[in-house]
Homo-oligomer: A and B are copies of this chain.
Amino acid sequence: MSLPSAPLPPPEDLLIDLRSGALRAATPLPPLPNRTLLLSLDDIEEGAHGLTAAAGTLLVVCERGVRSTLAARLLRAEGLNASAYEGGVPALLAAWEHKP
Protein backbone atom coordinates (compact mmCIF):
# COMPACT_ATOMS: atom_id res chain seq x y z
CA MET A 1 0.00 0.00 0.00
CA SER A 2 1.73 3.24 -1.11
CA LEU A 3 1.63 6.36 1.01
CA PRO A 4 -1.31 8.63 0.07
CA SER A 5 0.29 11.34 -2.12
CA ALA A 6 -0.47 15.01 -1.62
CA PRO A 7 -3.08 16.47 -3.98
CA LEU A 8 -2.03 18.28 -7.16
CA PRO A 9 -2.18 22.08 -6.95
CA PRO A 10 -5.37 23.78 -8.18
CA PRO A 11 -4.70 24.79 -11.82
CA GLU A 12 -5.31 28.49 -11.18
CA ASP A 13 -2.62 28.71 -8.47
CA LEU A 14 0.62 30.43 -9.44
CA LEU A 15 3.36 27.86 -8.89
CA ILE A 16 6.65 29.43 -7.74
CA ASP A 17 9.73 27.28 -8.38
CA LEU A 18 12.73 28.40 -6.29
CA ARG A 19 15.14 25.78 -7.66
CA SER A 20 18.27 26.69 -9.60
CA GLY A 21 18.30 26.28 -13.39
CA ALA A 22 20.50 23.22 -13.04
CA LEU A 23 18.09 21.49 -10.63
CA ARG A 24 15.13 22.42 -12.78
CA ALA A 25 16.83 20.97 -15.87
CA ALA A 26 17.75 17.79 -13.97
CA THR A 27 14.27 17.31 -12.54
CA PRO A 28 11.65 19.10 -14.63
CA LEU A 29 8.27 19.85 -13.08
CA PRO A 30 5.38 17.68 -14.30
CA PRO A 31 3.39 19.23 -17.20
CA LEU A 32 0.91 21.05 -14.95
CA PRO A 33 -1.43 23.69 -16.47
CA ASN A 34 -0.43 26.24 -13.81
CA ARG A 35 1.32 29.49 -14.54
CA THR A 36 4.84 28.99 -13.14
CA LEU A 37 7.21 31.67 -11.88
CA LEU A 38 10.91 30.85 -11.72
CA LEU A 39 12.80 33.02 -9.27
CA SER A 40 15.22 32.71 -6.37
CA LEU A 41 14.79 32.96 -2.60
CA ASP A 42 17.04 36.03 -2.90
CA ASP A 43 14.49 37.70 -5.18
CA ILE A 44 11.89 37.16 -2.44
CA GLU A 45 14.15 38.17 0.45
CA GLU A 46 15.09 41.35 -1.43
CA GLY A 47 11.46 42.12 -2.21
CA ALA A 48 12.28 41.91 -5.94
CA HIS A 49 9.60 39.31 -6.71
CA GLY A 50 7.14 41.79 -8.25
CA LEU A 51 4.16 39.83 -6.95
CA THR A 52 0.88 41.39 -5.78
CA ALA A 53 -2.51 39.96 -4.70
CA ALA A 54 -3.46 40.09 -8.42
CA ALA A 55 -1.20 37.06 -8.95
CA GLY A 56 -3.74 34.98 -7.00
CA THR A 57 -2.92 32.05 -4.73
CA LEU A 58 0.82 31.35 -4.61
CA LEU A 59 2.20 27.85 -4.14
CA VAL A 60 5.96 27.71 -3.57
CA VAL A 61 8.01 24.62 -4.41
CA CYS A 62 11.70 23.73 -4.06
CA GLU A 63 13.90 20.62 -3.81
CA ARG A 64 12.62 19.35 -0.46
CA GLY A 65 10.16 21.91 0.92
CA VAL A 66 12.51 23.69 3.30
CA ARG A 67 13.36 26.93 1.46
CA SER A 68 9.84 27.10 0.06
CA THR A 69 8.48 27.20 3.60
CA LEU A 70 10.66 30.23 4.37
CA ALA A 71 9.73 31.87 1.06
CA ALA A 72 6.00 31.35 1.71
CA ARG A 73 6.37 32.87 5.18
CA LEU A 74 8.12 35.94 3.73
CA LEU A 75 5.39 36.36 1.09
CA ARG A 76 2.64 35.98 3.70
CA ALA A 77 4.37 38.65 5.79
CA GLU A 78 3.78 40.94 2.78
CA GLY A 79 0.08 40.12 2.86
CA LEU A 80 0.17 37.66 -0.05
CA ASN A 81 -1.74 34.38 -0.09
CA ALA A 82 1.24 31.99 -0.20
CA SER A 83 1.93 28.47 1.03
CA ALA A 84 4.67 25.90 0.44
CA TYR A 85 4.01 22.58 -1.30
CA GLU A 86 4.85 20.06 1.39
CA GLY A 87 7.67 17.74 0.42
CA GLY A 88 8.73 19.88 -2.51
CA VAL A 89 9.22 18.64 -6.06
CA PRO A 90 9.51 14.93 -5.12
CA ALA A 91 6.03 15.09 -3.52
CA LEU A 92 4.68 17.00 -6.52
CA LEU A 93 6.03 14.37 -8.91
CA ALA A 94 4.47 11.62 -6.76
CA ALA A 95 1.13 13.46 -6.80
CA TRP A 96 1.36 13.67 -10.60
CA GLU A 97 2.16 9.95 -10.86
CA HIS A 98 -0.78 8.99 -8.64
CA LYS A 99 -3.28 11.47 -10.06
CA PRO A 100 -6.76 9.93 -10.56
A: residues with CB less than 8 A from B are: 12, 14, 21-22, 25, 28, 31, 35-39, 43, 48-52, 54-56
Contacts and interface: CB of A to CB of B under 8 A. Distances in A.
Contact of A35 (B14, B21, B25, B39): B39
Given A31-B21, A39-B35, A52 B49 contact: no
A49 B35 contact: yes
Contacts of A28: 25
A43 B22 CA distance: 27
A63 to B, nearest CB: 17
Given A35-B49, A36-B39, 11 more contacts: A14-B50, A21-B31, A35-B39, A35-B43, A35-B48, A35-B50, A36-B37, A36-B38, A37-B38, A38-B38, A50-B54
